[in-house]
Structure 1
């Protein structure tokens, strides 16, 4: 009986160990030159609306002072590269991916480097 219980416990722990983590967190370095980006009437609302359209992205936190975007995402629905590319297409740098030039030009003057 002890052997059966041990085998069941062992097989359960092996099964759980093989499952990849589904929900991940990453911090992405960006360049934000605006001190009111979250509230910016055009850029801030556009950023928020488009970030939330990324399939698998659960939540994000923008920190203007640290110039970072912390993302929480489902790794079975998206990956970090997809998220960084989406941020780039909004006109912002995302780690090693530079902001899309056309998207950057559409940003308000307050959101661009002076």
Structure 2
């Protein structure tokens, strides 16, 4: 339980620190997603690669955490969170776009466990 709490605390502190920086340059943000498999990983990483300002996106499937490196002068955390939602996945406490979620394969739905 302490490990989960420590992980969440670290996650939120990194997320808020990335949002608080205002100077242009490369920044990083982490989103807790509803992704559950390697197909989700490929879909999210490819989708984010097409977003303006994104330099890299990497999903850790077991922890369901998407790490995005981006240029702050080209995009922002809110736009990246929206991009994740429009791909069909939850981003932190924000629900996925319903139409995008319905288009996901059954193995990528939230009802499936991480596999």
TM-score (norm 1): 0.71
- Counterpart in 2 of 1:89? 86
Task: Report runs of 4+ in structure 1 exceeding 6 Å deviation.
Answer: none
How far off its partner does 1:38 sit?
A: 5.6
Q: Distance in 1 between matches of 2:40 and 2:33?
A: 14
- Counterpart in 2 of 1:27? 30
- Counterpart in 1 of 2:60? 63
Larger fraction in helix:
2
How far off its partner does 1:47 sit?
A: 3.1
How far off its partner does 1:92 sit?
A: 0.4
Q: Which runs of 5+ in 2 are unaligned?
A: 1-21
SS in 1 for 2:99: helix
- Counterpart in 2 of 1:110? 107
Aligned residue among 33, 37, 40 for 2:39: 37
The total of aligned residue pairs comes to: 90
How far off its partner does 1:53 sit?
A: 1.0
Q: Distance in 1 between matches of 2:79 and 2:60?
A: 20
Q: Which runs of 5+ in 1 are unaligned?
A: 1-18
Q: Distance in 2 between matches of 1:71 and 1:47?
A: 11
